[in-house]
């Protein structure tokens, strides 16, 4: 079974440009999460999809960030326009239905974003 | 809100030494607790977890016990190997919050032969 995949693995862009990150969750996982780790700091939650719906986007830093999950499958996270402080590693994770149990989140390898 | 505090690294050890990484948490409800590990060049992997008080999670020789009275979830391994060199993250999640993970800052561990 394929794990969570993310594309690209690295991205270097200039301030003001647009970048789109993609995440493909494990097949059949309805829950999809985005996190990021800014240089030297904690990994922070960004948002949570259940299928195609945004369940919680309380961690999105501002309106320059837009996340979508088309048809409840893969997800994209677009940053427009990118700022220097957006540099960091963006992780995606997926899990099965929550139900009444805490389901393990499986992480992708991350996308390392550098804004110059 | 919820938070996780873990000891800062880097922690440098010799092979076969005993490893402890302290982790404490604050939570509004009754969280599940996790240790994730990131090996060089790889993504985050779940190392172990515990979902209720006094539960002990264990995997690959690592152990951690959910201590509600001290709000702690310290990670231990009795004899580390060079291959244990990685960054270790303590985390919690709450079902009522959609299971989003709250992470500590990470502890880099370097094991020397």
**Is A105 within 8 Å of chain B by CB?**
yes
| pLDDT at A70 exceeding the cut of 60 | yes
**∠ at Cα B30 (A102, A46), nearest 5°?**
60
**Is A49 within 8 Å of chain B by CB?**
no
CA distance B105 to chain A (A): 4
What pLDDT, in 10s, does the model give residues B44-91?
A: 999 999 999 999 999 999 999 999 999 999 999 999 999 999 999 999
**Is B32 within 8 Å of chain A by CB?**
yes
> Using CB atoms and an 8 Å cut-off, which of residues 4-23 of chain B contact chain A?
4
Contact B80, B13 (CB under 8 A): yes
DSSP string, chain B: --EEEE--S-EEEETT--EEE-EEEE-SS--EEEEEEE-TTS-EEEEEEE-STT-EEEETTEEEE-BTTTTB--EEESS--GGG-EEEEEEEE-GGGTT-EEE---EEEEEE-
Q: Give the pLDDT score at B41.
A: 82
Chain B residue numbers with beta carbons less than 8 Å from the beta carbon of A104 are 46, 49
What pLDDT, in 10s, does the model give residues A35-45?
A: 999 987 889 99
| pLDDT at A47 exceeding the cut of 60 | yes
**Chain B interface mutation, best of A23, A38, A42, A60, highest count of B Cβ atoms under 10 Å:** A42
What pLDDT, in 10s, does the model give residues B104-113?
A: 999 999 999 9
The confidence band for A103, taking pLDDT boundaries of 50, 70 and 90, is confident
CA distance A116 to chain B (A): 23
| pLDDT at A101 exceeding the cut of 80 | no
CA dihedral B57, B62, B66, B72 (to 10 degrees): -160
Residue A85, SS3 per DSSP:
helix
Q: Give the pLDDT score at B97.
A: 81
What pLDDT, in 10s, does the model give residues B13-29?
A: 999 999 999 999 999 88
Residue A1, SS3 per DSSP:
coil
Q: Give the pLDDT score at A102.
A: 59
Distance CA A49, CA A55 (A): 5
């Amino acid at each position: 079974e394929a794990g969570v995949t993310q594309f690209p693995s690295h991205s270097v862009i200039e301030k003001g440009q647009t970048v789109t990150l993609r995440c493909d969750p494990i097949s059949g996982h309805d829950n999809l999460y985005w996190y990021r780790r800014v240089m030297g700091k904690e990994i922070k939650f960004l948002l949570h999809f259940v299928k195609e719906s945004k369940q919680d986007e309380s961690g999105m830093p501002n309106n320059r960030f837009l996340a979508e999950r088309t048809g409840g499958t893969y997800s994209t996270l677009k940053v427009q326009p990118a700022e220097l402080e957006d540099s960091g590693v963006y992780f995606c994770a997926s899990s099965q239905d929550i139900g009444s149990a805490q389901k393990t989140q499986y992480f992708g390898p991350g996308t390392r974003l550098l804004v110059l | 809100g919820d938070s996780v505090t873990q000891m800062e690294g880097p922690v440098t050890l010799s092979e076969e030494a005993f490893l402890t990484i302290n982790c404490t948490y604050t939570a509004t409800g009754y969280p599940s607790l996790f240790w994730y590990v990131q090996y060089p060049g790889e993504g985050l992997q779940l190392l172990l977890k515990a979902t209720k008080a006094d539960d002990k999670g264990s995997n690959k020789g690592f152990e951690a016990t959910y201590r509600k009275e001290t709000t702690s979830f310290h990670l231990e391994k009795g004899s580390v190997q060079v291959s244990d060199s990685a960054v270790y993250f303590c985390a919690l999640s709450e079902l009522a919050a959609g299971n989003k993970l709250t992470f500590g800052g990470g502890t880099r561990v370097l094991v020397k032969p």
